[in-house]
Amino acid sequence: MTQELWTSVDDYISNLFVPFDPVMQEALGTSEAAGLPSISVAPNEGKLLMLLAQICGARKILEIGTLGGYSTIWLARGMASGGTLITLEASAKHAEIARINIVRADLTGVVEVRVGSALDTLPQLVAEDRGPFDLIFIDANKDNYSEYFAWALKLSRRGSLIVADNVIRDGEVLDSTNNDPRVQGIRRFNQLLADESRVRATVIQTVGRKGHDGIAIAVVVAE
């Protein structure tokens, strides 16, 4: 198996299941033109997020890590009508691009972008009693995933879905001596998720145009 093959299979899947969508294409184009890194979820993963939101009938969604709003738009499209989504982003520049993309996607008034480090904005959400969220998507800096998971639990209810991206990292998570703080952060998160009795969880490895990685999916079973 090679990266070339994974990319071709991703194209095959996207051609079948993720038909061309000008709003999505423009969201990626605007982000690229503004110099944002190309680290949004792949189209088929975006659609998975939409499906998960739809499956759990989400009316309140929280996203940690907005970038240009690509995954935000997918999640919002899976939300029940009348729902709201809050997305947290540290970079003012990323948030500005996301807001442009969100307006273009006709999601004004549905999506709120909050700027600031998520470790500051998450406690604000608790203080404002904005939870519980039906679905929480963790996709910001990897070294803080454990902390984000702890806040996600505070902002959940029984039945809430917690999804986290990039939890395999080319298999680097196997190496306990790896000094990369992102790898260490993900290793801590995966262990915490496995040990947490309040959730039922698993991790699925993924390959595709974004390389070899993985996605964690958990359902809250006790508060």
Return d(Cα 104, Cα 110) in angstroms, integer.
12
**Residue 156 near residue 221 (C-beta atoms within 8 A):** no
The number of residues that bind ligand SAM (CB under 6 A) is 18
Rule CB under 6 A: say whether 39 interacts with ligand SAM: yes
The β-bridge partners of 180 are: none
Report in angstroms how near the CB of residue 117 gets to ligand SAM at its nearest.
4
Task: By CB under 6 A, name the one of 24, 52, 67, 173 that touches ligand SAM.
Answer: 67
Report in angstroms how near the CB of residue 47 gets to ligand SAM at its nearest.
12
Helix ranges (H only) for 155-223 are 181-195
Joined tokens for residue 128:
């404002």
Helix ranges (H only) for 2-69 are 3-17, 22-33, 43-55
Q: Name the one range near ligand SAM by CB under 6 A: 17-25, 37-45, 151-159, 183-191.
A: 37-45
Report in angstroms how near the CB of residue 87 gets to ligand SAM at its nearest.
8
Host H or E run for residue 84: strand 84-89
Rule CB under 6 A: say whether 71 interacts with ligand SAM: yes
Rule CB under 6 A: say whether 142 interacts with ligand SAM: no
| Cα three-residue angle 25-30-32, rounded to 5 degrees | 95
Report in angstroms how near the CB of residue 181 gets to ligand SAM at its nearest.
12
Rule CB under 6 A: say whether 113 interacts with ligand SAM: no
The nearer residue to ligand SAM, 75 or 207, going by C-beta atoms, is 75
The nearer residue to ligand SAM, 83 or 185, going by C-beta atoms, is 185
Q: Name the one range near ligand SAM by CB under 6 A: 8-16, 82-90, 104-112, 153-161.
A: 82-90
Return d(Cα 91, Cα 145) in angstroms, integer.
17
The nearer residue to ligand SAM, 11 or 96, going by C-beta atoms, is 96
Report in angstroms how near the CB of residue 143 gets to ligand SAM at its nearest.
9
Rule CB under 6 A: say whether 118 interacts with ligand SAM: yes
**Residue 101 near residue 89 (C-beta atoms within 8 A):** no
Return d(Cα 87, Cα 60) in angstroms, integer.
11
Task: By CB under 6 A, name the one of 90, 152, 164, 199 that touches ligand SAM.
Answer: 90
Q: How far is CA 120 from CA 83, 90, 166, 195, 205, in A?
A: 24, 10, 22, 26, 31
Site residues for ligand SAM, window 164-223 (CB under 6 A)?
none
